Homo-oligomer: A and B are copies of this chain.
Amino acid sequence: MNTADLGLPVDVPSTALFTDHYELTMLQAALAGGTADRRSVFEVFTRRLPEGRRYGVVAGTGRVLDAVENFRFDADVLGFLREQRVVDDRTLEWLSGYRFSGDVWGYPEGEVYFPGSPVLRVEGSFAECVLLETVILSILNHDSAIAAAASRMSSAAGDRPLIEMGARRTHELAAVAASRAAYVGGFASTSDLAAGFRYGIPTVGTSAHAFTLLHDSERDAFRAQVKSLGGGTTLLVDTYDVAEAVRTAVEVAGPELGAVRIDSGDLLLVAHRVRQQLDELGATRTKIVVTSDLDEYAIASLAAAPVDAYGVGTQLVTGSGHPTSSMVYKLVARADSADPKAPLTPVAKRSSSGKTSVGGRKWAARRVDEHGTAQAEVVGTGPVPQELADRQLLVKLVEDGRVLSREPLDVVRDRHATARANLPLSATQLSRGEPVLPTEYV
Contacts and interface: CB of A to CB of B under 8 A. Distances in A.
7 contacts: A20-B168, A31-B228, A84-B196, A138-B171, A138-B172, A142-B171, A213-B331
A18 B167 contact: yes
Interface stretch (A233-241, A252-260, A276-284, A364-372): A233-241
Interface stretch (A352-360, A412-420, A433-441): A352-360
Interface stretch (A7-15, A374-382, A389-397, A423-431): A7-15
Interface residues of A, number: 125
A197 B17 contact: yes
A351 B229 contact: no
Interface stretch (A34-42, A104-112, A301-309): A34-42
Interface stretch (A66-74, A113-121, A153-161): A66-74
Contact of A224 (B29, B138, B197): B29
A142 to B, nearest CB: 4
Contacts of A66: 7, 9
Give the copy number.
2
A33 B168 contact: no
Nearest to A226: B29
A340 B20 CA distance: 51
Interface in A26-79: 26, 28-33, 35, 38, 40, 42, 63, 66-67, 69-70, 77
B8 A12 contact: yes
Interface string A296-321: 00000000000000000010011100
Contacts of A69: 7
A367 to B, nearest CB: 31
B265 A18 contact: no
Interface of A: 1, 3, 5-15, 17-26, 28-33, 35, 38, 40, 42, 63, 66-67, 69-70, 77, 80-81, 84, 86, 88, 126, 130, 133-135, 137-139, 141-143, 165, 167-177, 191-194, 196-198, 203-211, 213-216, 220, 223-225, 227-229, 233, 238-242, 263-265, 292, 314, 317-319, 323-324, 326, 329-331, 334, 336, 347-355
A259 to B, nearest CB: 13
Contacts of A18: 167, 172-173, 175-176, 192-194
A331 B170 contact: no
A225 B170 contact: no
Contact of A22 (B80, B206, B228): B206
A203 B171 contact: no
